[in-house]
Amino acid sequence: MGRVIDEGDTIRVRTGYVPRPQAIAFHARSERYACLVAHRRFGKTVAAINDLIRACYTTPLDNVRVAYIAPYLSQSKAIAWDYLLEYTAAIPDIKVNIAELRIDFPNGARIRLFGADNYNAMRGLYFDAVVLDEPADFPASAWPKVIRPALADRKGKATFIGTPNGKNEFWETKTAKKTCQTGTEQCSKRQKQEYWISKNLMKQDAQWAMTATSKSLSVLSKRRSKGLITQSK
């Protein structure tokens, strides 16, 4: 169980979390992107949730926002919500929003659970840290089009966690570096893919704009020829 220790000017909160030996290196990492591959019952979710809680107090920014994301919102709630409540219970003055699966901390930080099945619900938000649980089961557009851009301006961190299940996208992230400690190289590859996608989208937008302009000019020309529009002198 967690408890609060009053040290005069400082209040130290012990959440009750004791990392397993194999999770210590994960918590001690300094990389922006991390990949945690482990078997069932390893304790990935517990470690990830506590890592996000710590980020709420150690990220040197105002109004810190962190998120745990599972393939489905119902799955996110079933897997992580009870752990989140358990390990934040001892923190004074927190506000729990059950409807939004959200906890607000007294320093302005916020942690929230999301489901990748409705990844558009994260559009317009920013994140300082996210955990992607079983990202291979996410819709293909969730990471490159919504989640990663939400990390960009504040240089947020991302942790990919999961269990091996064939050569899928999570396997690609895992094998991006031989040591499987970070997904940096894979993310660099993703950045190139995202750049290519955004470049083509911009090209398509430009083509659409040119087409729309041509159509508009054509309509204006026809209306002028019919005397429906007169040019101002």
Max CA distance (Å), the chain: 84
67: amino acid identity, one letter: A
pLDDT in tens, the chain (233 residues): 554 454 555 667 778 888 888 888 888 888 888 887 776 777 889 999 999 999 999 999 999 999 999 999 999 999 999 999 999 998 999 999 999 999 999 999 999 999 999 999 999 999 999 999 988 889 988 998 999 999 999 999 999 888 765 444 544 554 554 433 444 444 445 544 444 444 444 444 444 445 544 555 565 566 666 665 554 44
Cα(233)–Cα(107) distance, integer angstroms? 61
Between CA 165 and CA 153 the distance in angstroms is 33
Domains and CATH numbers, the chain: 3-183 (3.40.50.300)
Do 137 and 92 meet the contact criterion of CB atoms below 8 Å apart? Answer: no
Amino acid at 85: L
Looking at residue 27, its pLDDT comes to 87
**How far from each other are the two terminal CA atoms of the chain, in whole angstroms?**
80
Q: How far is CA 53 from CA 127, 129, 195, 226, in A?
A: 13, 10, 32, 68
Give the pTM: 0.69
Q: Whose CA is closest to 54, among 105, 3, 114? A: 105
What torsion, rounded to 10 degrees, do the Cα atoms 189, 193, 194, 198 define?
150
